[in-house]
Chains A and B, each alone.
Chain A
């Protein structure tokens, strides 16, 4: 049976699971696809996958790109 939390009770810390994230680092993306991270760089260089950067930081792979890649190249 579902329990309704009391209103004055502090809400549990929001846990963001990897599956809910919008973007991943190269290593994380490679782990999710089950490939070597070097292959990720190859796919990026060959423009088979698009990446983005946040504040000129390290490369991030959007989740949508991973899904797209799974539906095409890594079938």
Chain B
């Protein structure tokens, strides 16, 4: 590794080429990072909305892959929502991903469930951050493979390293404060 040196012309060319080749993947990755940050920044609001929806027993009916029946509460991210159901006198909350299949139908996968909505949301954010780490490592490995094929016998670790740094930054970025939380403070 030679991160403290200026990249060579070949490394710069390789970096530009790899950025084009992996543009779609990094775009989706960054969009997902923003989605996770949004949930993290709005944890309380989302939790309250989900809790009130559960108290009112409102929301469309959903059957998950394990056969249990839920009601839609609040959307978290694309195709992912908090759902709720009554289990005796208790309320139960679940993270459900609606998976569109190529056949045209959709499957509802129950990812996690518990009685506490706030705890569920915190677990969701932690899991999604871990997932982003797995995803990041996989993209970096693909970049390394791509570079090894395109530039055999060349040390392109600085290029793969730059991908890794950029994606790690996107994951660890501090969530922006939700607008409605700051509203009313400034006059």
Residues of A within 8 A of B (CB): 26, 34-36, 38-39, 41-42, 44-46, 56-59, 73-75
Would A58 and B141 be within 8 Å (CB), given that A38-B28, A45-B127 are in contact? yes
CA distance A7 to B111 in the complex (A): 56
- B65 part of interface (Cβ distance < 8 Å): yes
Query: Contacts A41-B134, A42-B111: A36 and B99 contacting too (C-beta < 8 A)?
Result: yes
**What bracket does the count of chain B residues touching chain A fall in?**
20 to 34
The answer on a CB contact under 8 Å between B131 and A35 is no
Q: Name 20 A/B residue pairs within 8 A (Cβ), A-sorted.
A: A26-B138, A34-B103, A35-B99, A35-B100, A35-B101, A39-B97, A41-B135, A42-B131, A44-B131, A45-B134, A46-B112, A46-B127, A57-B144, A57-B145, A58-B145, A59-B134, A59-B138, A74-B65, A74-B99, A74-B107
Please indicate the chain A residues that have their CB under 8 angstroms from the CB of B145 in the complex.
57-58
Nearest CB to that of A57 among chain B residues? B141
- How far does the alpha carbon of A59 sit from the alpha carbon of B131 in the complex, in Å? 13
Contact A39–B141 (Cβ < 8 Å): no
Would you call the interface of chain A mostly helix, strand, loop, or mixed? loop
Residues in B whose Cβ lies below 8 Å from that of A44: 131, 134
New A-B contacts (8) at CB < 8 Å, excluding given A42-B111, A58-B141: A26-B138, A34-B101, A41-B134, A45-B127, A45-B130, A58-B138, A58-B142, A58-B145
CB-defined contacts of A39 to chain B, threshold 8 Å: 97, 99, 109
B27 at interface, CB cutoff 8 A: no
Within 8 A of A (CB), among B109-138: 109, 111-112, 127, 130-131, 134-135, 138
User: B2 contacts the other chain (Cβ, under 8 Å)?
Assistant: no
Q: What residues make up the interface of B, taking CB atoms closer than 8 Å to A?
A: 28, 32, 65, 79, 97, 99-103, 107, 109, 111-112, 127, 130-131, 134-135, 138, 141-142, 144-145
Separation of A36 and B77 alpha carbons in the complex (Å): 14
Contacts of B141 in A (CB 8 A): 56-59
Contact B131 A41, beta carbon cutoff 8 Å? yes
Q: How far is the CA of A36 from the CA of B107 in the complex (A)?
A: 12
A46 to B99, CA, bound (A): 15
Which residues of chain A have C-beta atoms less than 8 A from B142's C-beta? 58
Complex contacts, A56 vs chain B, CB 8 Å: 141
CB distance from B50 to the nearest CB of A (A): 19
List, in ascending order, chain B residues with CB within 8 A of A38's CB. 28, 32, 135
